[in-house]
Amino acid sequence: MLSLAIAGLRARGSRTVLSALGILAASLVVGTGVTVGYGLATGFERSAERAGLPDVIARFTPERRATVDERVRALPNLAAASYRYEVLDEPLTANGHHNHRGAVNTVGAGRRGYEIVEGRDVAGDRAGEAVVERGLAKEWDLHPGDAIGLGRRIGELRIVGIASSPDNVAFPLATTARVYISEATIR
């Protein structure tokens, strides 16, 4: 019976090879589709976990932190809360580049919502430091140790880190370039 099967394969050699190649191609397509699908389905979750992205991001009109904290703490099942103060449309300058749509985020203690991919994070007790998003750093060729200017009120800061934040697309795909500073810089 085995010799009969081998004889049949020899008689239809080209068809057999063609069928085998078709099966191989279909297997590659299915394998690639599963891999890409899994990566897309779990990629954001993995990125958000590495960045310490909170489960909920809420934005408020300018209000005293104590007032906002009172409302936030009243929420049921709240494990933790952290706050940022964000100023939009802040002019940014560095390496001969300029953008008038900067988003300057003052970060305090707690979850940051971004992952440091180069350098280090801003220190809460040190003034004059900044972390820039990876898209801005790449587009403007910025590295830790470089300077970035943030409007007239803040002035020039030293970049200490490059960050990746999964909650939004990065500059230049987004027209707003994000910079993170410590509360000590504002004080």
The DSSP call for residue 29 is H
Q: How many other CB atoms are found less than 10 A from the CB of residue 3?
A: 7
Q: What span, in angstroms and rounded, lies between the C-alpha atoms of 97 and 137?
A: 11
Residue with tokens 């009243």: 74
pLDDT in tens, 98-113: 988 888 888 887 777 8
Tokens of 73: 């703490």
- Label residues 5-38 b or e (16+ Cβ within 10 Å = b): eeeeeeeeeeeeeeeeeeeeeeeeeeeeeeeeee
DSSP E strands in 72-114: the ranges are: 84-94, 97-107
Domain range list for the chain: 2-51, 82-186
Q: Please give the pLDDT value at position 107.
A: 85
Q: Please give the pLDDT value at position 48.
A: 61
Q: Please give the pLDDT value at position 45.
A: 66
Q: Is 0.75 topped by the overall pTM? A: no
Residues with Cβ within 8 Å of residue 16, at least 6 apart in sequence: 9
Q: Please give the pLDDT value at position 29.
A: 83
The low-confidence residues of the chain, meaning pLDDT below 50, are none
Q: Please give the pLDDT value at position 143.
A: 96
Q: Please give the pLDDT value at position 24.
A: 78
Q: What span, in angstroms and rounded, lies between the C-alpha atoms of 39 and 154?
A: 40
Q: Please give the pLDDT value at position 43.
A: 60
